[in-house]
Amino acid sequence: MSQTVVFPGSAVSPHEDQAAPETRIRSYWQSVGYRLRHDKATVFFGTMVLLIVLSAVLAPWLAPFDPYKESIIGRLKPMGWRGHLLGTDELGRDMLSRLLYGGRVSLLMGIVPVIFATCAGGALGVIAGFMGGKVNTGIMRTMDVFYAFPSVLLAVAISGAMGGGMSNGMLALTLVFIPPMCRVAETATTQVRALDFIEAARATGAGTMTIVRHHVLGNVLGPVFIYASSLVSVSILLASGLSFLGLGVRPPTADWGLMLSTLRQSIYVVPVVCALPGVAIFITSICFNLVSDGLRQAMDVRM
């Protein structure tokens, strides 16, 4: 939306003595905030995301039981059995506590790779877009090679070859997300670079670093941020998938993907309890996805 950001009668005008209608011109970020606050769905799902993150952070205080305490007699019990609100798993550990603790690993493995990939891919993209020519060709053709792998396949290949583990998994996911991130940043930079104000800045004697810092970054960060926010949901799904295949954390650490995989053998005993870790992944992924959609609309980024 490129219309003017004037909203009549929304704030106290500085010129109240004049008869003109009360108007105020918002800055870009003010108008983004205005749109976000009035988008009920995004506010709701944003709150959900916040609650999910908080419940993971506060897991040691919220969990009703020790997530590692096993019980021979209390294995695979249904929901509500002896105070175990969501039942127990195949080793008699409390499901609710394990889900809360599992969120810590799953969210960490979902968010950290996106942050790293955004920094690395974004920087590469800006360099490729701003330098153009041979540098651009070199960087972007290398990225094309990684584009040639379906993302699940690349993540599994790298972390599988490196022998699994949480840090290898995060490294694999980072490598998976760098190429698309780089492409988004490169496209945005190339578009901005062709605009007149960059040339004007150069004509007034601004150095390359100044132009990049003040004129390019400001215009590239929006699309990069939106794209990164949409990657979080993908990353959580992929990270849980890696754990599901045994390429993430090692047992007995609680992790949604790993829990789903170890509970798979017990679907004939307590089907509902076995599906719970997947519900957690699904809800988290939906919330992040919808918040990202809301942000994209509020920030008016087209990709």
Instruction: Based on the shown chain and the rule CB under 8 A, indicate whether residue 237 belongs to the binding site for other proteins.
Output: yes
Radius of gyration of the chain (CA): 24
| Nearer of residues 68 and 146 to other proteins, judged by Cβ | 146
Binding to other proteins by CB under 8 A, coded x per residue (else -) over 215-234, reads ------------------x-
Q: Does 247 bind other proteins (CB under 8 A)?
A: yes
Residue 136 found at the interface with other proteins (CB under 8 A): no
d(CA 215, CA 204): 13
Q: Is 161 an interacting residue with respect to other proteins (CB under 8 A)?
A: yes
- Hey, how many other C-beta atoms are within 10 angstroms of the C-beta on 162? 14
Neighbours of 22 (CB within 10 A): 15
Q: Which listed residue (12, 16, 83, 268) binds other proteins by CB under 8 A?
A: 268
In angstroms, what is the minimal distance from the CB of 142 to other proteins? 7
Q: Which is nearer to other proteins, 190 or 219 (CB)?
A: 190
Asked if 232 and 288 touch (Cβ cutoff 8 Å), the reply is: yes
160 binds other proteins, rule: CB under 8 A: yes
Q: Segment contacting other proteins (CB under 8 A): 13-21, 126-134, 152-160, 185-193?
A: 152-160
Alpha helix locations (H) across the chain?
Answer: 28-37, 40-57, 59-62, 95-131, 133-147, 151-161, 166-193, 196-203, 208-211, 217-244, 256-263, 271-299
Near other proteins by CB under 8 A, which window of 62-70, 93-101, 197-205, 267-275? Answer: 267-275
Q: Which of residues 270-289 bind other proteins (CB under 8 A)?
A: 271, 274-275, 277-279, 281-282, 285-286, 288-289
Query: Other C-beta atoms within 10 Å of 281: how many?
Result: 25
Task: Examine residue 142 and tell whether it contacts other proteins (CB under 8 A).
Answer: yes
- Mention every residue, 6+ apart, whose C-beta is less than 8 A from residue 203: none
Q: Which residues pair with 88 in a beta bridge?
A: 94
251 binds other proteins (CB under 8 A): no
Tell me how far apart the alpha carbons of residues 121 and 117 are, in angstroms, rounded to a whole number.
Answer: 5
> Does the protein bind other proteins through residue 110 (CB under 8 A)?
no
Residue 176's closest CA among 221, 130, 110?
A: 110
Q: Is 146 in the site for other proteins (CB under 8 A)?
A: yes
Q: Given its phi and psi angles, is residue 9 left (phi above 0), alpha (psi -120 to 50 degrees) or beta?
A: left
Q: Which is nearer to other proteins, 107 or 260 (CB)?
A: 260
Among 15, 40, 141, 302, the residue binding other proteins under the rule CB under 8 A is: 141
Give residues in contact with other proteins (CB under 8 A). 141-142, 144-146, 148-153, 156-158, 160-164, 233, 237, 240-241, 244-247, 260, 264, 267-268, 271, 274-275, 277-279, 281-282, 285-286, 288-290, 293
